[in-house]
Structure 1
Amino acid sequence: MNRKQMNRIVCSLPLVALAVSGCSGGSNQANPSSAPTPSASGDASAAKPIADGKAVTLKVFQMNAGITDQEFQENFVDAVKKKFPNVTMELVRSGKGTTKEDLMTTGQFPEIILTTSWDMVQFQDASLLTDLNEYVRKSNFDLNQYEKNTIDSIKLYSDRGELFALPYSFNFEVLYYNKSIFDKSGIPYPKDGMTWEDVIALGKKLTAADPTIRAIDPNGLRWIAQSFLVPFVDPKTEKAAVSTDDWKYLFEMFKAIEDIPDDKKTKKGVAGFEKDQTLAMYASSGGRIGEIEDLSKQGINLNWDMVTFPLRQGHPSKEVATQAHVLAVSSTAKSKDDAFRVISYLTTDKEIQTRLAKGGAVPAIKDAEARSQFGKDFKTLQGKNVQAIFKNVYGTMGKPTRYDDVVKTAVQSALDKMIKEKLDVNTTIRFAQETADKAIEAEKARKK
Structure 2
Amino acid sequence: MSKKMAIALGLTAALLSGCSAGPQAEPQGKTTLKVMYYSEDSFYFQYGMLFSALYPDIELEVVSTNNVKPEDGETINDATAKFIRERKPDVLMLSASQYKQWAGEGKLLDLEARAAQDKFDLAGIVPGILEYIRGLSDGKLYGMVPSFYSRAVYYNKDLFEKYGVPLPEDRMSWESLLQLASRFPTGGEPGERVYGLKPDYMSDLNSLTRQIGGSLGLSYFNVSNMHMTANSDSWIKAAETADKAIKGGYLYLGEDQTNQMYTTYEEYLLQDPFIGGRTAMTIDSSYLVSQIKEAQEVLKDKSLRNWDVVTMPVDPKNPNVTDTVSVDQILAIDSQSPNVDAAWKFLQYVNGDEFARVKSKANSGGFPVRTKYINDDDGHNLQAFYALTPTEETVFKDYDKMPNEAFTEIMNTIAAELSEAGKGQQTVAEALNRIQDKGQLILDGKGKGAEETASDTEK
TM-score, normalised on structure 1? 0.63
C-alpha contact 1:133 1:162 (8 A) present in aligned 2: no
Q: 1:435 aligns with which of 438, 442, 454?
A: 438
Q: 1:207 aligns to what SS in structure 2? A: coil
In structure 2, how many angstroms separate the alpha carbons of the residues matched to 1:191 and 1:93? 44
1:141 to 1:432, Cα distance in 2 relative to 1, 3 A:
farther
Cα 1:123–1:394, aligned 2, differ >3 Å: closer, same or farther?
A: closer
Residue 279 (structure 1) shift: 4.2
Shift, 1:394, TM fit: 2.1
Q: Deviations over 1:256-306 (max 9, x none)?
A: 2211225752349x9744677644422233343344445556659444432
- Asked if residue 150 in structure 1 is aligned to residue 129 in structure 2, the reply is yes
1:266 aligns with 2:292: no
Distance 2:151 2:96 in 1: 20
Deviations, residues 16-40 of structure 1 (Å, cap 9, x unaligned): xxxxxxxxxxx9966434xxxxxxx
**1:54 Cα deviation (Å)?**
1.9
Deviation (angstroms), 1:251: 0.8
2:373 alignment counterpart: 373
Structure 2 distance, partners of 1:162, 1:410, is 39
* Unaligned ranges ≥5, structure 2: 5-19, 71-79, 201-206, 259-268, 449-459
Residues 149, 327 of structure 2: 8 Å contact kept: yes
Aligned position for 1:320: 322
Q: In 2 relative to 1, CA 223–410 (structure 1 residues): closer, same or farther, beyond 3 Å?
A: farther
Query: What is the number of residues matched between the two proteins?
Result: 375
* Cα 1:249/1:112, change in 2 over 3 Å: farther
Identity of aligned residues (%): 15
With over 3 angstroms needed to count, the CA separation of the structure-2 counterparts of 1:349 and 1:267, relative to structure 1, is same
TM-score by length of 2: 0.62
SS in 1 for 2:146: strand
Taking the TM superposition and a 5 Å limit, the aligned residue runs for 1:254-403 are 254-262=242-250, 264=253, 265-267=255-257, 272-273=272-273, 278-293=278-293, 301-303=303-305, 304-312=307-315, 315=317, 317-321=319-323, 323-324=326-327, 326-329=329-332, 335=338, 337=340, 340-356=343-359, 363-364=368-369, 371-375=371-375, 382-389=378-385, 392-394=387-389, 396-397=391-392, 400-401=397-398, 402=400
Task: Tell me, yes or no, if structure 1 residue 207 matches structure 2 residue 200.
Answer: no
Aligned partners of 1:224, 1:78: CA distance in 2, in Å? Answer: 40
Equivalent residue for 2:13?
Answer: none
What is the correspondence of 1:37-436 to structure 2 with a 5 Å cutoff? 49=27, 52-54=28-30, 56=32, 58-59=34-35, 61-62=37-38, 73=45, 76-82=48-54, 84-87=55-58, 98-101=66-69, 112=91, 119-121=95-97, 131-133=107-109, 145=122, 149-154=128-133, 165-179=143-157, 182=160, 186-188=163-165, 190-193=167-170, 194-208=172-186, 210=188, 212=190, 213=193, 214-219=195-200, 220=207, 221-262=209-250, 264=253, 265-267=255-257, 272-273=272-273, 278-293=278-293, 301-303=303-305, 304-312=307-315, 315=317, 317-321=319-323, 323-324=326-327, 326-329=329-332, 335=338, 337=340, 340-356=343-359, 363-364=368-369, 371-375=371-375, 382-389=378-385, 392-394=387-389, 396-397=391-392, 400-401=397-398, 402=400, 406=407, 410-436=413-439
Structure 2 counterpart SS, 1:237: coil
In structure 2, relative to structure 1, the CA distance for the partners of 1:317 and 1:59 (3 Å cut) is: closer
Question: 1: CA distance between counterparts of 2:429 and 2:362?
Answer: 45
Larger radius of gyration: 2
Check the 8 A contact 1:233/1:239 in 2, yes or no: yes
Q: Give distance in 1, aligned partners of 2:211 and 2:64.
A: 23
Aligned residue in 1 for 2:25: 32
User: In structure 1, what residue type is equivalent to 2:285?
Assistant: S
* Contact in 1 for aligned 2:174/2:212 (Cα 8 Å): no
Report the CA distance between 1:385 and its aligned residue: 3.3
* Alpha-carbon RMSD: 5.0
Amino acid in structure 1 at the alignment position of 2:343: F
Structure 1 residue matching 2:284: 3-state secondary structure: strand
Q: CA deviation at 1:342?
A: 4.0
SS of 2:373 mapped into structure 1: coil
Counterparts in 2 of 1:409 and 1:345: CA distance versus 1, 3 Å = farther
- The change in CA–CA distance for 1:61 and 1:222 in structure 2 (over 3 A counts) is farther
- 1:84-130, Cα deviation, whole Å (9 max, x unpaired): 22235587887xxx34339969x879764557xxx444798999x99
Q: How many angstroms apart in 1 are the aligned matches of 2:326 and 2:128?
A: 9
Give me the whole-angstrom Cα distance separating, in 1, the residues matched to 2:361 and 2:128. 22
- Residues 178, 280 of structure 1: 8 Å contact kept: yes
Which amino acid is 1:197 matched to? Answer: E
Determine if contact 2:112/2:141 at 8 Å carries over to the other structure. no
- C-alpha spacing 1:408/1:297, structure 2 compared with 1 (3 Å): farther
Higher RCO, 1 vs 2 (CA within 8 Å, ≥6 residues apart): 1
Q: Is the 8 A contact 1:169 1:324 kept in 2?
A: yes
In 1: Cα distance, 2:50 partner to 2:199 partner: 38
Aligned to 1:37: none
Determine helix, strand or coil for the equivalent of 2:182.
helix
